[in-house]
Amino acid sequence: MQRNKQRIDRSFEEYTELIKENPRRVLRSISQLFYDMVKANVREEEDMNSEDRESIGFVRYDCSKLFVDGADKPFFADTPFANRFMLQIGTLRQGIQQNRIHVYDGPTGSGKSTFLNNLLRMFEVYTSTPEGYAFEVLWDIDEAVIKDPAKENKDLQLSVRNVDEVPDSASSQKQRSGGSLRISCPSHDYPILVIPKEYRFRFFYHLLPTRTKKEREIRDYILREKEYEWLFGGEACIVCKSIFQSLFDRLGSLEKVLQMMRVRVVRFDRRVGEGITVFNPGDPTYLQSSQPAMHLPKDHNTDHSLQERLDRLFGENAVRYSYSPLAKTNNGIYVLMDIKLHNKDRLLELHNVLSEGIHKVGDVEENINSLFFALMNPEDKKVIEDAKMESFQGRIQFNTITYVLEPKTEIDIYCNVFGQSIEKHFLPRVLDNFARAVVGSRMNQECVPQKEWIPDFKKYSRYCDGFGLLLRMELYSNNIPVWLSEEDKNKFKAEVRRAVIGEGLKEGMKGFSGRESIALFSDFFGRYSNDEKLITMNDVVEFFKHGMPKLIRDQKLPPKGFLDSLVASYDYAVLNEMKEALYFYGKDQISRDILNFLEATNYDFGDTFECRYTHEEVQVTVDFLRLMANRLAGRGANVIEAQKFARDIQKKYVVVVASQGTEIIKTDLYRELFDAYVRRLKENALQPFMDNKNFREAIKAFGTEDFDSHDARIREHVSHMIENLMKNFGHNEQSAKEVSLYVLDKNLVSKFAEAAQTTQPKVPFGRIFP
């Protein structure tokens, strides 16, 4: 058996050595331990908006170690929930968190049980490693010493030596002369709390090392910060306190008392209810004692044989070994899975514990410092409302688990269930859009903060739907789309971001649940996947419009027009990808054309000159100006427009030339013209091939012997395009060919022919959505 699986205990002296070596690890309350567990297993990804002054700290978290790795049933946290969860966990760092129960609510099928089961599983794993050890009291009483009549009773007077020093190794390891009574603390008490609290500050002051500046800072932090107040204000459980007092009365020395106290690692084991107790709604409310066939009241538990030995050793009722069921999760975790049936009563019974941190066991007050969690469906909140306990409601911290609102996370779920290989059956972007259609069903048409920010989405019709659902999906994924205009980006202030992101709590409560979406994808994938062709956007549209019963379509599908907008954004994206891939023009030639044109704006029609930059001879003709105006601005259909464009550029050029010391190709004017030239070339890259049937046939024949039969120029362009689609846009050869044919067959060039005249914002060629 591995060492960390054995219940190895150590002396109090050895325990203090651990404190000195790593005080912040050893001295952790249950809330601090839980906080460290989460932080150790969640990685904050790089914030792409960190330089943004309006950033609200909304970032992506990698929660796979916490909820996915090693789990029988993984839970996938989308970015909105991960941010809410990490914000909640941050509050646990401050130490003991009394007066609060953490309730996770959300619709049926949102994964609440899976989330909490995996969280508890990871806590068990973490606390079984040295990084996650917690320590508890184990009394090891030498009965012969206690019964020795020569021992005198003394008052509780702790000298400086009592407090400042710990038992030496020789005395702590001496042989016992008689029997030993080993008593586990029923409340899993922290060993340090056994020391009377009025002496703990002095104890730590002398115990913690101060050899280095860092050690002194750690000591001062522990002694003074709120995070560690529990060390100085916490009380030992009534059992340990009674044992300590009785031993001190007999032995008269703190040193000798501590020799009879051992320290061991807490074993958190959900299955036996040690450190973690989970109640399902149908679990009975009574407890069974250690005595067979004997049922006890639900607020009381004991060990009769142990109680008899304690009475003989210390006197009747000197130490009462009596505790409540809550003691087993003191300094641990108490969980209610769904507030139904018996769990309704359990939740309401926690009122006094949450209010005071105290639970009554007979006439004894029992301190309870646990982490309390519960799961709740939205309709279950009525239990609290019906109880009319407003103070209790104030002690509940809700955190909503909605249906997934991030397409990437939705895809992660499909890949986990059906295997990573499913992605190979889709054209790029198509699986993403299937996920967007599912996520769209969970979102609301109205979003007031978004509408106040962007009143009209018509200007974004190529990238987004009219309700702004696709935009919110991107924002929930911590992406600010490149297609937003500068004006709207500037209006996206911190308060707007908080309001829009906050809408995520109102969404994800309807539409396809997690379980339904898995069944939906299974049906879809079974219908459309085959080895001969990849799944296309047409397949997605057909499935959502005609592939499911009308009742489901009416109840579950995204709002009317959303699928059409999804197709439009897909079409525009793949068209631009194909144009980008087909773009075949040298940068040197573009540069020469721009430099020649800039110099030509200083001359009249018919003039011939040698360009000072390219040293080429240039003749200023109407055709030359019209060609350059068209390539740079999409204008120049007539002489007047070409002349006006040339005059506008000439005015800017004069200012640039007048600025001494700036190389022309490093000026803003040159860069603007260069970018505009490239953009126009890409926009028109497909135009020469639209009516060329050989171009389409060459794409179909690519990779086969028939490809060589096509014209060399056609082969060169098709090869260049296919290679760029594979290199820059995630395609393989098959998908590159299929998406190219999709663009041609749907005549997307004509569909978006008005691109040059539209007022919609220009965006870089390539991916519309990351």
What is the tens place of the pLDDT at every residue in 187-200? 999 999 999 999 99
Give 84's contacts (C-beta < 8 A, 6+ positions apart). 399, 400
CA distances in angstroms from 655 to 591, 644, 703, listed in the order given: 20, 18, 53
pLDDT beyond 90 at 637: no
φ, ψ (nearest 5 deg) of residue 320: -105, 110
Task: State the angle between helix axes of 430-440 and 469-476 in degrees (0 to 180), rounded to the nearest 10.
Answer: 100
Whole-Å CA distances, 136 to 15, 18, 27, 194: 10, 14, 11, 10
Q: Alpha-carbon distance 131 to 37, whole Å?
A: 9
Which has more pLDDT, 690 or 521? Answer: 521
Average pLDDT over residues 397-426: 97
Per DSSP bridges, beta strands 135-142 and 261-265 are antiparallel
Helix (H) or strand (E) holding 581: helix 562-582
Mean pLDDT estimate for the chain: 87
Choose among 668, 715, 677: nearest CA to 585. 677
For 107, counting Cβ atoms within 10 Å of its Cβ (0-12 exposed, 13-18 middle, 19+ buried), the class is: buried
451 pLDDT exceeds 60? yes
Q: What is the pLDDT of residues 542-599, one digit of tens each?
A: 999 999 998 898 899 999 999 999 999 999 999 999 999 998 777 898 999 999 999 9
Which of these, 131, 125, 73, 395, lies nearest to 276 by C-alpha position?
125
Residue type, 432: D
Q: 274 has which bridge partners? A: 269
pLDDT confidence of residue 388: 64
What is the pLDDT confidence band of residue 166, given thresholds at 50, 70 and 90? Answer: very low
pLDDT tens digits, one per residue of 320-346: 998 888 888 999 999 999 899 899 888
Collapsed DSSP state (helix, strand, coil) of residue 470: helix
Contacts of residue 133, defined as CB under 8 A and 6 or more positions apart, other chains included, come to 25, 26, 127, 265, 266
pLDDT score of 289 = 41
Comparing CA positions, the residue from 713, 701, 464 lying closest to residue 567 is 464
Question: What counts of helices (H) and strands (E) characterise the chain?
Answer: 37, 19
- Compute the distance between CA of residue 333 and CA of residue 178 in angstroms, rounded to an integer: 38
681 or 529, which is more confident: 529
Q: Which region among 281-295, 586-600, 698-712 has the lowest average model confidence (pLDDT)?
A: 281-295
The sign of the torsion formed by the CA atoms of 21, 22, 28, 33 equals negative
Instruction: Give the lowest-confidence range in 357-366, 416-425, 582-591.
Output: 357-366
Q: Which residue, 386, 327, 374, 387, is CA-closest to 353?
A: 327
- Expressed in angstroms, the distance from the first to the final Cα of the chain is 49
What pLDDT is stored for residue 635 in this prediction?
Answer: 58
Banded pLDDT at 762 (limits 50, 70, 90): low
What pLDDT, in 10s, does the model give residues 218-247? 999 999 999 899 999 999 999 999 999 999
What is d(CA 446, CA 458) in angstroms, rounded to the nearest whole number?
A: 16
Q: With 80 as the cut, is the pLDDT of residue 63 above it?
A: yes
Contacts of 420 (CB under 8 A, 6+ apart): none
More confident residue, 241 or 100: 241
DSSP 622: H
3-state secondary structure 676-733: HHHHHHHHCCCHHHCCCHHHHHHHHHCCCHHHHHCCHHHHHHHHHHHHHHHHHCCCCH
Cα separations (Å) of 138 from 7, 135, 178, 289, 580? 11, 10, 18, 21, 71
The pLDDT-based confidence of 72 (bands split at 50, 70, 90) is very high
SS3 454: coil
* Backbone angle region of 275, left / alpha / beta, with phi > 0 → left and psi within -120 to 50 → alpha: left
Q: Output the pLDDT for position 164.
A: 45
* Token pair listed for 656: 């640039």
CA distance 176 to 154: 22
Domain assignments of the chain as residue spans, ordered by start: 1-20+135-265, 407-579, 587-683
* Both structure tokens of 646: 């040339």
C-alpha distances in Å from residue 442, one per residue of 398, 479, 506, 761:
21, 19, 10, 29
Confidence at residue 64, expressed as pLDDT on a 0 to 100 scale: 97
